[in-house]
Structure 1
Amino acid sequence: MKYAESLKKNYEFRVVYRRGKSFANKYLVVYKLKNNKSDNRLGISVSKKVGNSVVRSRTTRLIRESYRLNEEYIEKQGWDFVIVARSNANGASYQDISSALIHLLKQHRVYGKQEDL
């Protein structure tokens, strides 16, 4: 599966914030909105509340990598996702971020990995 395109423009983020549905947990907030395209698009937002530029960059990389590795399990196509890091994401491990993202994708009903028993 092709890696998701990025949301880059401010107005693209605003549309997803305004019209999209959101779920949140301790580390992340995920907004989802139908985009009527064949591929998913991903936007990541990490504010200065999370930490300095080094921490924000690390958090962004962790979120992007977690999404990339789980992208094949996202069953539905044609969505815009905006992932917002909360201040608790400062110092969180990759495993914390990954499990938080999977949890929220399951709440949005787009994650379809079969759990091994």
Structure 2
Amino acid sequence: MKSFESIKNNLKFKEIYHSGKSFANKYLIMYVLENQTDKNRIGISVSKKVGNSVIRHRVTRLIRESYRLNEDMFNSGLDIVVIARVGARGKNYQEINSALLHLAKMHQILKEMIKS
């Protein structure tokens, strides 16, 4: 299992916003930037527009869990920032997971899975 760290530094978020490549769908926006290491770092941002703190934390947990369960599918050495859109409010795990994997496919950061 690969390890990943959280991005907590505001300057790092700004660097990824400025230099990274972004794609969006109905529920999420994803910025990706290579970080020259063998680990992935993930940052999650959920604004107050999405809802109160209970709703924001639930969305954050769903995104983090979706990434954790699928992290072996992601390429290594990436800084990934996921921003929740207002549409993510009230969605279940399957919908958030599908949105996250959809954006990863758009960024072409998923490993080619060998079918046996």
TM-score range, shorter chain: over 0.9
TM-score (norm: length of structure 2): 0.94
Q: Could you tell me whether the CA contact under 8 Å between 1:3 and 1:68 is conserved in 2?
A: no
Q: Deviations over 1:4-44 (max 9, x none)?
A: 10101100100000000000000000000011111110000
SS in structure 2 at match of 1:37: coil
Give unpaired runs (5+ residues) of structure 2.
none
Root-mean-square deviation over aligned CA pairs = 1.4
Question: Match of 2:6?
Answer: 6
Q: Deviations over 1:76-117 (max 9, x none)?
A: 21110000000000001110000000000001111136497x
Give unpaired runs (5+ residues) of structure 1.
none
Question: What letter matches 1:45 in structure 2?
Answer: S
What is the Cα deviation at residue 3 of structure 1? 3.0
SS in structure 2 at match of 1:57: helix
Question: What letter matches 2:64 in structure 1?
Answer: R
Question: Match of 1:102?
Answer: 101
- In percent, how many aligned pairs have the same letter? 57
Aligned length: 115
Counterparts of 1:41 and 1:17 in 2: how far apart (Å)? 14
Question: Match of 1:92?
Answer: 91
Question: Match of 2:16?
Answer: 16
Question: Match of 1:112?
Answer: 111
TM-score (norm: length of structure 1): 0.94
SS in structure 2 at match of 1:2: coil
Instruction: Give 1:1-117 correspondences, 5 Å limit.
Output: 1-74=1-74, 76-112=75-111, 114=113
Question: What letter matches 1:65 in structure 2?
Answer: E
Counterparts of 1:101 and 1:83 in 2: how far apart (Å)? 8
Flag the 1:113–1:98 CA change in 2: closer, same or farther, 3 A: farther
